[in-house]
Each structure stands twice: as C-alpha cells, then as structure tokens.
Amino acid sequence: MGILIPLVSVSAFWALIGFGLPWIVPKGPNKGIIQLMIVMTAVCCWMFWIMVFLHQLNPLIGPQINVKTIRWISEKWGDAVPNNN
C-alpha cells in the first residue's frame, strides 16, 4: 500500500500534464511543436521518475567490502556490538 500512493499520484500528475496541457495551447504557427514538447516533457519526466523510484525499491548493487577491510575497520573503530562475556 505504501508504494501505491506515490505511484498513482505522481503518474496522475504527469498524465494530467501530458494529456491536459496540450489542449490549452493557444493557436499559432508553432502550436503542434509546443504540444509535442509538452507531451514529450511529461513522458520523459515520468519515465525518469519511475525508473529512479523502481530502482530504489530493489537495488541491484549493494556495497561490497573485502573481508580484510571489514576486519581492519572493526579493529580500528572497535566493534559495534560489545561482547558480553
């Protein structure tokens, strides 16, 4: 449910921009070009947003640290969890 609200709201916003704004462009020699620019902007912005949003849900690459580096950090910084012996 947490994914659905931003997905629907942002998609609806860009759909409104892409489908609604081209209808209110005033008449002129460049009306078709302006309409195309508005639609292309909405599509590109939505695609950029959806790719970033979906990438953050399941990142493909996580941090990869060598075991020697982890041991060195643990030795220099101290253990994060104290030993209760």
In a domain, 36, yes or no: yes
Give tens-digit pLDDT for 44-73.
999 999 999 988 887 777 778 888 888 888
Distance from C-alpha of 81 to C-alpha of 15, rounded to nearest angstrom: 50
Q: How many domains does the chain have?
A: 1
Q: What is the mean pLDDT of residues 12-30?
A: 94
Range of the domain at 64: 1-75
In a domain, 21, yes or no: yes
The DSSP line for the chain is: -TTHHHHHHHHHHHHHHHHHGGGGPPPSTTHHHHHHHHHHHHHHHHHHHHHHHHHHHS-S------HHHHHHHHHHH--SS----
Confidence of residue 2 (pLDDT cuts 50, 70, 90): confident
In a domain, 82, yes or no: no
Q: What is the mean pLDDT of residues 27-47?
A: 95
In a domain, 80, yes or no: no
